[in-house]
A and B are shown apart, each in its own frame.
Chain A
Amino acid sequence: MKETMTLIWTTVRESYAGNLIFPLYLASLVYLAVTDRKNSKKIVGPSVILMLILFNPVLYDRVFIKTLSYAYWRSLWLIPAVPVVACAVIRLFGHLPARWMKAVAAADLAVLIVFGGTFVYTGSGREVTKAENLYKLPQDAVDVSRELLRLSDEPHVVMDRELFCYTRQYSSRIIQMYGRDAWGYMDDIRDDCKAVYDELQKQAPDYGFVAGSMRDQGFTYLVQSKEGEDQAAVEQAGFRLVSEIDGFSIWELTPLAE
Chain B
Amino acid sequence: MKLLKIMLCIFVLIWLPSALGICVFPACGVSSAPRRGMTEDGVSGSEKAAGCPDAADFLLCMLAGNLLMWAVFEAVAVPCAFGGAALHTVLLIWSAVIAAILLGCSLKRRIFPVFRFGHRERMAGTACPASDHPAGSRRHDAEILFYAAAALAAVLILLQCAVYIGGMHLDQDDSRYIAEAVDAWENDRIYAVLPQSGSVRTGAWSGDFIKDLVSPWPLWIAAASKLTMMHPATFAHTVCAAYLLLLFYACVYLIGRELFRDSREKPMIFLAVSAFIMMFFAGSLRTSAEFTLLRIWQGKSVFAGVGTAALLLEFLMLYRYAEKPGYGSGEKKVFLLVLLTGAASCLMSGMGVILSLIMIAAFSLWYLIAYRRIRGFLILMLDCLPGIVMGMMTILLHGVTG
Contacts and interface: CB of A to CB of B under 8 A. Distances in A.
A244 to B, nearest CB: 23
Contacts of B359: 50, 78
Contacts of B282: 18-19, 117-120, 123, 126
Nearest to A46: B366
Contacts of A126: 169, 282, 285, 290, 294
Interface residues of A, number: 81
A136 B238 contact: yes
Nearest to A73: B286
Interface string A60-78: 0000000110010111111
- Of A53, A120, A127, most B-chain CB atoms within 10 Å: A120
A76 B359 CA distance: 11
A4 interface: no
B197 A178 contact: yes
Contacts of A179: 175, 179, 195-197
B315 interface: yes
B198 A168 contact: yes
B133 to A, nearest CB: 14
B105 interface: no
A211 to B, nearest CB: 19
Contacts of B391: 67
Contacts of A119: 279-280, 282
B234 A86 contact: no
A134 interface: yes
B346 to A, nearest CB: 14
Majority SS at the chain B contact face: helix
B196 A78 contact: no
Contact of A53 (B196, B285, B319, B362): B362
Contacts of A104: none
Contacts of B316: 42-43
Contact of B303 (A77, A117, A135, A166): A77
A164 interface: yes
Given A78-B359, A186-B195, A172 B168 contact: no
Given A49-B365, A80-B308, A171-B182, A129 B281 contact: no
Contacts of B319: 41-42
A165 B355 contact: no
Contacts of B168: 128-132, 136-137
Interface stretch (A9-17, A228-236, A247-255): A9-17
Interface residues of B, number: 81
A43 B363 contact: no
A114 B280 contact: yes
A87 B169 CA distance: 31
Contacts of A31: none
Given A120-B282, A165-B174, A165-B175, A89 B273 contact: yes
Contact of A181 (B196, B231, B286, B362): B196
Contact of A49 (B194, B294, B300, B366): B366
A81 to B, nearest CB: 8
B95 interface: no
Contact of A137 (B233, B291, B315): B233
B353 to A, nearest CB: 9
A26 interface: no
A43 B259 contact: yes
Contacts of A45: 366, 369-370
A134 B238 contact: yes
A213 interface: no
Contacts of B269: 90, 93
Nearest to A114: B280
Given A80-B312, A128-B168, A87 B270 contact: yes
A67 B354 CA distance: 8
Contacts of B198: 168, 172, 174-176
A18 B287 CA distance: 10
A77 B291 CA distance: 10
Interface string A18-37: 11010000000000000000
Nearest to B391: A67
Ranked 7 nearest A-B pairs via Cβ: A18-B283, A179-B196, A117-B280, A136-B237, A172-B183, A165-B175, A175-B198
10 contacts: A46-B315, A49-B366, A77-B291, A77-B355, A128-B168, A130-B166, A165-B175, A173-B186, A181-B194, A187-B197
Interface of B: 163, 166-170, 172, 174-176, 178-179, 182-183, 186-187, 193-199, 207-208, 231, 233-234, 237-238, 252, 255-256, 258-260, 266, 269-270, 273-274, 276-291, 293-294, 300, 303-304, 308, 312, 315-316, 319-320, 351, 354-355, 358-359, 361-363, 365-366, 369-370, 391
